[in-house]
Structure 1
């Protein structure tokens, strides 16, 4: 920040100075006023340059902030577009999964055990049959259970064979859900990027405000220097005017003296001429006075 004006270097001019100081004193004061005015004008110019430099930086920061704003808004538009597509795809996936559940209900695939579970149970029963000593009654019951499980297994396989459409719908539902997830990922990435540009926009505006505040301070300093320079210039002009008045009075006084001397010389020449006409002898000086007065 620029230092304040050193008031001790300023030149003060009063009405008393103009009225009472001698010509020599006023000429000296005019020089002091001129030099101080020039110094202050230089100071004002430097401060104005610094102010203009800071104002230019402010504009750069504002432009930078605006660029981040535009990029943020552009990204937010993309976020909204991806959100729209994500929501539409999720809605479609939900419809497909509901259709899957409906098909399962139609085929009763939601009831009972799965193929793998039935196979495992059959293997356990067969292993028990092969490894344990059973009574005739127990073995008959075990064989019946195995047969029942096999029938259930065949029934389940048959239903699954009939569920080709279900698998196709299920696969389509998964594909649609995956696409929705891709759009959700883009939403997250673009939203994060938009937030970053938003943060940078805020930072640029804050920096612009700080630089603008400094520029305003330099402008105030410029005004102080310019006003002081203008005051010194006005006082310089006042002194110059006073000096011209004094020169004019001196010239008038000299003119009066010349006229007075010319009148006196004329009277003296006329007296000499009268003496000459009266027959008096004239010396060289008297003759020169007559000649100068145009009487010879």
Structure 2
């Protein structure tokens, strides 16, 4: 079983250190000062970017492993197709071999029937008779025999020669037998050639079968590594997404604080305008009553539009 730790080591992948993660609590978000939140947003953004980079690298390695898995599966499929093609050829040669063997058996059965008809199976065959004659002649030439023994030996030789002549005469009387034997042997030889092809093709088919099994095994191993790498990718991507969500929350809070500050400034400016207006009205009232105004008082009246 391939583990995430296995692929981290094998492919030199940076391990995700959770101690580097940036934590955002509700208290920090609600009670933190604007300066603190700006700093926190920067930390969240930087950590998010690092995690996205880590996730990207892991995704790339995962994709490479998935590609290698597909290559091995394709390789296994090629071996499967070659194996199946060879097995089809094996079956074709088997069928032809069996047909030829059946044909050869029928021919040899006919040969035996013909031999029986010609009585060629009675006694010894031609080759055996020739060998016995040679042995007797060799004995006659090499051994010192009495007249009686030599006469008996000569009679045996003549008897064997007569048997041989009779066998040969019967064979010659039926040239069809030799042709039939030759045809049967040719058919059997052709069947043997097909049997040889069966053996050769079956061996090749077995080789491709073994290679197919090995390729599928390697594909499974690589797929397990790809799955483990995908888990590592998800781990980094989920952490990156969490930091991005927290970054967005902080940014939203900063915008809320900016809006509050703007509202407070607007309120202050409104209060200032109201106070200036009240002061200007007091000055204007003094002006109507004939009091002398200084330059500063005149500028205040101009600013409020009362002069």
* Partners of 1:122 and 1:150 within 8 A in 2: no
The CA deviation string for residues 201-221 of structure 1, in whole angstroms up to 9 with x for no partner, is 111101111111111011101
- Structure 1 residues 159 and 118: alpha-carbon distance in aligned structure 2, compared to 1, 3 A threshold: farther
1-side partners of 2:32 and 2:254: how far apart?
11
1-side partners of 2:282 and 2:17: how far apart?
69
* Partners of 1:68 and 1:198 within 8 A in 2: yes
- Structure 1 residues 253 and 164: alpha-carbon distance in aligned structure 2, compared to 1, 3 A threshold: same
Match of 2:75 in 1: 64
* Partners of 2:136 and 2:153 within 8 A in 1: no
The within-5 A match list for 1:97-246 is 97-113=108-124, 114=126, 115-117=129-131, 119-120=133-134, 123=137, 132-134=145-147, 148-246=159-257
SS in 2 for 1:77: helix
The CA deviation string for residues 31-54 of structure 1, in whole angstroms up to 9 with x for no partner, is 111111111111111111111111
Structure 2 residue 34 is the aligned partner of structure 1 residue 23: yes
Structure 1 residue 155: Cα displacement = 1.9
* Partners of 1:118 and 1:152 within 8 A in 2: no
Match of 1:294 in 2: 305
Match of 1:52 in 2: 63
Q: 282, 285, 291: which is aligned to 1:271?
A: 282
* Partners of 2:140 and 2:150 within 8 A in 1: no
1-side partners of 2:161 and 2:238: how far apart?
109
Match of 1:85 in 2: 96
* Partners of 1:125 and 1:146 within 8 A in 2: no
TM-score, normalising length: structure 2? 0.88
RMSD: 2.2
* Partners of 1:104 and 1:110 within 8 A in 2: yes
Structure 1 residue 163: Cα displacement = 3.2
* Partners of 1:126 and 1:146 within 8 A in 2: no
Structure 1 residue 3: Cα displacement = 3.8
The CA deviation string for residues 93-147 of structure 1, in whole angstroms up to 9 with x for no partner, is 111112222221111112223341464377469769x975536xx8887776565
SS in 2 for 1:110: coil
TM-score, normalising length: structure 1? 0.92
- Structure 1 residues 124 and 275: alpha-carbon distance in aligned structure 2, compared to 1, 3 A threshold: closer
Match of 2:84 in 1: 73
- Structure 1 residues 58 and 273: alpha-carbon distance in aligned structure 2, compared to 1, 3 A threshold: same
Structure 2 residue 294 is the aligned partner of structure 1 residue 283: yes
